Structure 1
Amino acid sequence: MFASIPELRLCAAVVAVGALSLGCGDDAAASGDGGASDSAARDSTTDDSGTLPDASMYTGMNPDTDCPGRLAPVEPAGRVEVVGDGTAASCSEDALHAAATALNGAEGGGTLTFDCAGEHTIALTRSLFVSNTMILDGGGDITLSGGGAVRVIEVDHHVDFVVQRLTVRGGYVAAGSENESGAGLLHPWFGTLRAIDVTFDDNHSASEANDVGGGAIYAGGLTEAVLSGCTFTNNSGSTGGGVLSRSTNLRVVDNVFFNNSATTYAESGQYGNGGGLYIDRMWLDDPIDFSICGTVFDGNHAKVHGSAFFSYNLEGTGAVFDRCTFRDNDMAGSPGGGTGTVYHEGVPLLLINSTMSGNSTGEHAGGLFLGGGTDAQIANCTFEGNETPGNAGALWAGNGRVQVTHSTFAHNRADYGPVIFKGMSGNVRLTNVIMSDNGTDNEFSALACHATFDDGGGNVQWPATKNNGNPDNPCTESVLFADPRLEALADNGGPTETMALPAGSPALDLATECSEYDQRGTARTVPCDPGAYEHPL
């Protein structure tokens, strides 16, 4: 009998796995040494032409994610300092530092805003320093630029800091600096951070040392950090190309991570992880359960683990990924090949309503890697076109207990286990899963599953024969070998792409134990369909 994974909890609200719902405590409308060369750090996120990719496609977020915990901009509080008098010339670096100094010395801190006659960039020759409670509000018009020479924002210890409606661009921290992380924003210990509707672009931490990085943000030992509606593009660091979060209670809602890079390679696991986002545990004294919702990881790069996302998290009772997209992330240039587009190890994982597509690694786990004995529940998810030359094209289940329900696996490739690979002591149970047109170049390997897993019923597998003409290994004992005739990955409604079942598919109405909704949030009918997509009546 497959032992059920303990119920996961998020933000003091229960995550009901059976109903595949997600709750969060905040109202949605609530307010080491070494050296990389400068050129290597700056060029790590450029395309073949040597220029930064255009990030304009990510100027807005999908309004239909409906994720809990999305933050509205915070209203001004405390003393208010305004940079500028309505002219661009008045919005100088000196005026910015003067306003920040005034708030740093004010009792209770305050709010820093701008009046610069529209869009304006302030070029910095030294970092903006924040040592008191502050709301930094760019109003959607202001860019603070480090010019590729200095860190943009540095926050002192024990500070509550909100940054919103601002662009942080061109931050740079040289190897050997006192603090080598956080070229865009450094918040090193204690206090809180809320980043709301902020763009972090082209920020680079140059050090090749272990456990440093966070090209855009370094958050260390914070009791709360919330990233809400932010865009992270073209940032890099040794580890955590976009964000490096260490011992911090982090929540991530409706963000985009595009073309960020974890740049350093070493055989130690402390380098080159998390091209977009790297997490090393929650706040140790009072940990919450990590949650990420409505977030896109597109075209990020790493050298060791987690081209898009890396998490090593032992605190709390679970981690929840909901309504997320991971596409076209890779391990390009990794000497060791790299493992996992998403690497998660530690607390049980709940992965729901999400899509992993077009990702690749050079060693193992083209899609999701579950480290050690990590338990997981995966429901209403699509894994399409992920590949690796080693084991586990879509899912490395490790040695934990993994339940996969109402999910679709198509066009994934690996030498061994193109759909799922598990360790010797692992336990995998499949219920209402479609596995179609996955493959391998190895004529002796199974086209989907290297082992026969626990059977929850309602599973469909195709094709039925290996490359050498022998019968393929059944993923479960009662699996139906039939072509489900899946349509191409597309926007079929909802916040993530899915693969539709056409009329006449032999997979229609074959599912057991129907979930209430499919991946798109569309109500399932009874009898219902296997896979992540419910065909309309």
Structure 2
Amino acid sequence: MSTLNSHFRFSLLPKNNKRIILEINLYFETDKYCWQWHICNIEWIRENSYIEFRSSTPTLTVQRLRFINGRCQDANGGCAIFQKNGGTTVINSCSFENNTGPAVGQDMAGALGILGSGLSISNSHFETNTATGNGGNPGNGGNDGAISFDGLRRNNTICGTRFTGNQANQFGGAFFRVSYNGSEQNIFDNVLVDSNFISINGNGLTGGFYIQGDIVTIRNSTVADNSATGAGGIFFINDKSVTLNNINLLSNIAYTSIGAAVICSNPVTGLFTGLIVANNSAGAFGAVFASCSRTITVSNPIIADNIVKNTWPANPCTSMLNGGPGIVQLPINKQKPATGTDAFCPNGTITKLYNVSIILDKST
């Protein structure tokens, strides 16, 4: 383990034997160590290898680096980078792959653990990172396959970033965030949250994003093919305000429970605009929105072809949301063997359609 000492400086020795130095408030740039515009690899070759950065004021900036096969001790997490006790971490054009959290303990993320610090990520990629330990809190440990973020009055911005194939044991296959006084900001723009999951045997929630107790804005993004026992896509918990704008929620799965696309744990207020919510599947019911109420206004959504195993309760939503303009919902009737008209997600005027197909093209 490399730990920042009182001189605020430490070094890594990558495979090419060229030394990389980190210093407080300086960039961790790769141009000096790799060909310009190429990503430099940092591949850990033994257990308990990761970057640990502790100080109350610095900015740690990491650019054009690839972190592969990170591992960390049982008591820790953030097994590529772990920042604690203040400051801000800035990640730009980096890739985090196959980093694995500890088997026992708090297990704060397979790749990036942020505790009491700020976070900004742009143009980066998190793939097949895992946090499958147990024995920590909340839940039973194993929280967040890719990023764990915990901090009072600490904000988070993620832009142009993909989360794919990350796995957790308990909460948040891709992203796990808890905060405290409701003023913390979480902004996601142009992100793809794709095929992240909680193990089907783990009985955990939220394959994609678990966000608790703060202000959330997600725009121009896709949350698709994520899976968990419940809340396959996103879980909002006691969040002060949630804004979703131009979001695709597609083909997410709740194995045995509710809320394949989204679960809200009240009180959650907000505005959902321009959503396409299609082909999500819940093992119980409430395939689209579970426990989201009229404190949320929905405008211009297309809610289509979401399915449930228990066909008798309301299919897409467990409770009614406040309806704005331009609402499209189908199918109109319940799945068989249930009969009759299905309940509508929002109140107000709804356009009812019988036959529409929505397919996600991942080729681009």
TM-score (norm 2): 0.85
Unaligned segments of structure 2, at least 5 residues? 1-5, 102-106
- 1:310–1:344 contact (8 Å) kept in structure 2: yes
99, 108, 129: which one pairs with 1:239?
108
User: What amino acid sits opposite 1:227 in the alignment?
Assistant: I
1:416 has 2:280 as partner:
no
Q: Hey, what does 1:248 align to over in structure 2? A: 117
- CA deviation profile, 1:494-535 (whole Å, cap 9, x unmatched): xxx7xxxxxxxxxxxxxxxxxxxxxxxxxxxxxxxxxxxxxx
- Rounded Cα–Cα distance in structure 2 between residues aligned with 1:432 and 1:404: 9
Picking from 21, 32, 41, the partner of 1:167 is 41
**Structure 1 gap segments, 5+ residues each:** 1-103, 144-163, 175-182, 498-537
Residues 133 and 249 (structure 1), Cα distance of their counterparts in 2 relative to 1, 3 Å cut: closer
Match of 1:457 in 2: 325
Match of 2:93 among 212, 220, 229: 229
Contact 1:329–1:359 under 8 Å retained in 2: yes
Partner Cα separation in structure 2 for residue 137 and residue 398 of structure 1: 41
Quote how far apart the aligned CAs of 1:435 are. 0.4
1:272 aligned to which of 124, 127, 142: 142
Are the aligned partners of 1:356 and 1:382 in contact in 2 as well (CA < 8 Å)? yes
Q: Which runs of 4+ in 1 moved over 2 A?
A: 119-124, 128-143, 171-174, 188-192, 265-268, 313-318, 333-340, 372-375, 425-428, 483-487
The whole-number CA distance in structure 1 between the counterparts of 2:321 and 2:24 is 56
- Output aligned runs, 1:98-113, within 5 Å: none
CA contact (8 A) 2:136 2:142 kept: no
8 A contact 1:172–1:206 mirrored in 2: no
Instruction: Give the counterpart letter for 1:320 in structure 2.
Output: I
The DSSP-based 3-state class of the residue aligned with 2:16 is strand
Matched-pair contact (CA < 8 Å) for 1:262–1:301:
yes
1:188 maps to 2:54: yes
Judge conservation of contact 1:239–1:264 (CA < 8 Å) in 2: no
Offset, 1:263: 1.8
Q: Does 1:139 align with 2:31?
A: yes
> CA 1:132 to 1:465, structure 2 compared with 1: closer, same or farther past 3 Å?
closer
Q: CA deviation at 1:173?
A: 4.7
Q: Compute the displacement of 1:457 (Å).
A: 2.0
Offset at 1:278? 0.6
Shift of 1:142: 5.3
Instruction: Give the structure-1-normalised TM-score.
Output: 0.59
Q: Which moved more, 1:399-408 or 1:377-386?
A: 399-408
Distance 1:439 1:374, change over 3 A: farther
Matched, 1:482 2:353: yes
2:304 corresponds, among 423, 436, 439, to: 436
CA separation of 1:369/1:323 partners in 2, compared to 1, >3 Å: closer, same or farther?
same
Match of 2:126 among 257, 263, 267: 257
Equivalent position of 1:341 in the other structure: 208
2: CA distance, partners of 1:136 / 1:378: 33
Answer yes or no: is 1:122 the counterpart of 2:1: no
Confirm or deny that 1:370 pairs with 2:248: no
Amino acid at match of 2:132: T
Structure 1 CA distance, aligned partners of 2:361 and 2:69? 30
Is this contact kept in 2: 1:293–1:323, CA < 8 A?
yes
Cα-to-partner distance string for 1:225-272 (whole Å, 9 max, x where unaligned): 101111000001123111000111111111100000012134731621
**One-letter amino acid of the structure 2 residue matched with residue 416 of structure 1:** F
Query: Which residue type is aligned with residue 222 of structure 1?
Result: G
Amino acid at match of 1:380: N
After superposition, the C-alpha distances for 1:291-342 in whole angstroms (9 at most, x for unaligned) are 1111100000001110000011236442111100001011126532333420
In 1, are the aligned partners of 2:28 and 2:62 still within 8 Å (CA)? no
Q: CA deviation at 1:289?
A: 3.1
1:180 corresponds in structure 2 to none
The residue number in structure 1 matching 2:249 is: 383
Residues 72-122 of structure 1, C-alpha deviation per residue, up to 9 Å, x if partnerless?
xxxxxxxxxxxxxxxxxxxxxxxxxxxxxxxx98xx989x999xxxx9623
* Identity score, percent: 24
**Could you say if the C-alpha distance between residues 131 and 326 of structure 1 is closer, same or farther in structure 2, counting changes exceeding 3 Å?**
closer
Structure-1 separation of matches of 2:9 and 2:214? 37
Q: Which has the larger radius of gyration?
A: 1
Query: Following TM superposition, by how much is the alpha carbon of 1:135 offset from its aligned partner in structure 2, in angstroms?
Result: 5.0
Shift of 1:405: 0.7
1:99 paired residue number: none
CA-to-aligned-CA distance 1:156-206 (integer Å, 9 cap, x gap): xxxxxxxx95321115554xxxxxxxx321112332200011100011114
